[in-house]
Amino acid sequence: MQTAAALTMVRDDAFFLSAWLRHYGTLFGRENCYVINHGRGEEVASLAEGCNIIGIPGDAHKNFDMKRWRMLNNFVMGLRCYYDHVIVGDVDELVVLDPASGLSLPQFLRNVPANRVLTPIGLEVVHNIETEAEPIKDHVIGPRRQVRPAPHYSKPCVVSTGTKIARGGHFTQYPKLHLPEHLYLLHLKFCDIDTYSEATDRRNAVTVETGASIKEASIGRHWFPQARGEDRALFESFAELPLQEEFDMSPYRQSMRETWKPRGDTGYYEFYRTEPKQRYILPDRFIGLV
Q: What is the pTM of this model?
A: 0.90
Q: What share of the chain is helix, strand, coil (3-state, %, to 5)?
A: 35, 20, 45
Non-local (6+) Cβ contacts of 177 within 8 A are 119, 256, 257, 260, 269, 271
Output the CA torsion sign for 199, 201, 207, 213: positive
Q: Which residue from 211, 245, 212, 214 is spatially nearest to 227, judged by alpha carbons?
A: 214
Residue 229 has what pLDDT? 58
What is the DSSP secondary-structure string of 97-162?
Answer: E-GGGSS-HHHHHHTS-SS-EE-PEEEEE---TTT--SPPSS-SBTTB-EEEE-GGG----EE-S-
Query: Within the chain, which residues score under 50 in pLDDT?
Result: 208, 210, 212-214, 216-228
Q: Are 199 and 187 in contact (CB under 8 A)?
A: no
- The pLDDT assigned to 209 comes to 54
* Distance (Å, whole) CA 239 – CA 236: 6
